[in-house]
């Protein structure tokens, strides 16, 4: 019962408040730890094997440490007062859900775009994407927003819930440790999980670890969204056709299922640091990408989140009666 209450309250807290401005966020603490660790490891510039093993150690320390600290904080709160432990668990778990933050990021770009201010839309978009934004057209801005909200739907919203539910089903563990561990893996991948220098050796393990950590919730999300679309065979056929073309084992599937459902095509040519990079085309261009299509995709994410939350809590309730 307590796990169900914590999950529901955390979901509500993220929906209503998101990440309050000025508050220290667990991801900031993770980022600080990663920065400290990578600075030391990158100093081993001439020792590639040392960087590779250092990347393994950094991943284990950050991911394991995040989950362990989360468990200790909740357990310590429970020792003092179960209500305090529940409150700590709720806040920490809510910090793992990025639903409101993702919606805010999209809206911060769509609003100036609606007003015709392309320069402001580009500058806001640059805060959330890695591609060059200075000369993007309106259509390219809209594609970038849609690709961002669909790629991050899994690692920012659905996967943390998946691991929160899984942790809640494990006696003595709870939702927080696994959700925080996943968040740490995702943060580590975003900071050092690159094939390019200087992270070629340091980031290899964190990138593969995060890929493996995300694989199952990503596939569960694809199946759930396909079922919610009412056309699962068509949607899954498009995903099987296009998603494997993406070099990422998860991002292509996450983006493609949304593209298939809302009837748009994502992918194409992007510019990163002045260099052109072509991403595979995902979905069919049945409709142009528009603000309405982006809102439709975000609504699908919220619906999938609620379905998982409801089913997960029902399973937890059933387990409590066994």
Residue 119: per-residue pLDDT: 96
Residue 183: per-residue pLDDT: 96
Instruction: Answer for the pair 260, 239: CB distance below 8 angstroms, yes or no.
Output: yes
Per-residue model confidence as pLDDT tens digits over 78-95: 999 999 999 999 999 999
Residue 229: per-residue pLDDT: 97
Residue 49: per-residue pLDDT: 82
Tell me the residue length of the chain.
Answer: 322
The span from the CA of 82 to the CA of 89, in Å, is 10
User: Three-state secondary structure along the chain?
Assistant: CHHHHHHHHHHHHHHHCCCCCCCCCHHHHHHHHHHHHHHHHHCCCCCHHHHHHHHHHHHHHHHHHHHHHHHHHHHHHHHHCHHHHHHHHHHHHHHHCCHHHHHHHHHHHHHHHHCCCHHHHHHHHCCCCCCCCCCCCHHHHHHHHHHHHHHHHHHHHHHHHHHHHHHHCCCCCCHHHHHHHHHHHHHHHHHHCCCCCCCCCCCHHHHHHHHHHHHHHHHHHHHHHHHHHCCHHHHHHHHHHHHHHCCCCCHHHHHHHHHHHHCCCEEEEEEECCEEEEEEEECCCCCCCCHHHHHHHHHHHHHHHHHHHHHHHHHHHHHHHC
Residue 46: per-residue pLDDT: 61
Residue 175: per-residue pLDDT: 96
Residue 135: per-residue pLDDT: 92
Residue 85: per-residue pLDDT: 95
Instruction: Report, as ranges of residue numbers, the positions in the chain whose pLDDT lies below 70.
Output: 20-22, 45-47
């Amino acid at each position: 019962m307590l796990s169900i209450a914590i999950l529901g309250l955390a979901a509500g807290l993220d929906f209503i408040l998101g990440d309050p401005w000025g508050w220290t966020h667990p991801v900031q603490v993770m980022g600080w730890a990663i920065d400290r660790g990578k600075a030391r490891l990158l100093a081993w510039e001439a020792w590639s094997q040392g960087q590779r093993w250092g990347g393994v150690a950094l991943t284990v320390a950050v991911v394991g440490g995040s989950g362990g600290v989360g468990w200790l904080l909740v357990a310590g709160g429970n020792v003092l007062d179960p209500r305090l432990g529940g409150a700590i668990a709720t806040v920490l778990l809510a910090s793992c859900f990025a639903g409101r933050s993702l919606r805010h990021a999209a809206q911060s770009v769509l609003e100036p775009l609606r007003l015709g201010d392309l320069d402001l839309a580009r500058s806001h978009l640059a805060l959330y994407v890695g591609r060059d934004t200075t000369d993007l057209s309106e259509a390219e801005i809209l594609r970038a927003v849609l690709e961002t909200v669909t790629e991050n739907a899994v690692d920012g919203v659905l996967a943390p819930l998946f691991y929160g539910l899984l942790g809640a089903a494990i006696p003595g563990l709870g939702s927080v440790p696994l959700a925080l561990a996943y968040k740490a893996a995702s943060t580590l991948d975003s900071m050092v999980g690159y094939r390019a220098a200087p992270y070629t050796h340091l980031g290899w393990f964190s990138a593969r670890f995060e890929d493996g950590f995300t694989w199952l919730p990503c596939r569960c999300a694809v199946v759930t969204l396909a079922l919610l679309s009412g056309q699962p065979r068509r949607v899954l056929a498009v995903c099987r056709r296009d998603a494997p073309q993406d070099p990422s084992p998860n991002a292509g599937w996450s983006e493609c299922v949304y593209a298939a459902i809302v009837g748009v095509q994502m992918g194409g040519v992007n510019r990163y640091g002045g260099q052109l990079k072509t991403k595979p085309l995902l979905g069919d261009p049945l409709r142009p990408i528009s603000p309405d299509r982006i809102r439709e995709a975000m609504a699908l994410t919220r619906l999938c989140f609620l379905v998982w939350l409801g089913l997960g809590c029902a399973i937890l309730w059933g387990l409590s009666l066994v």
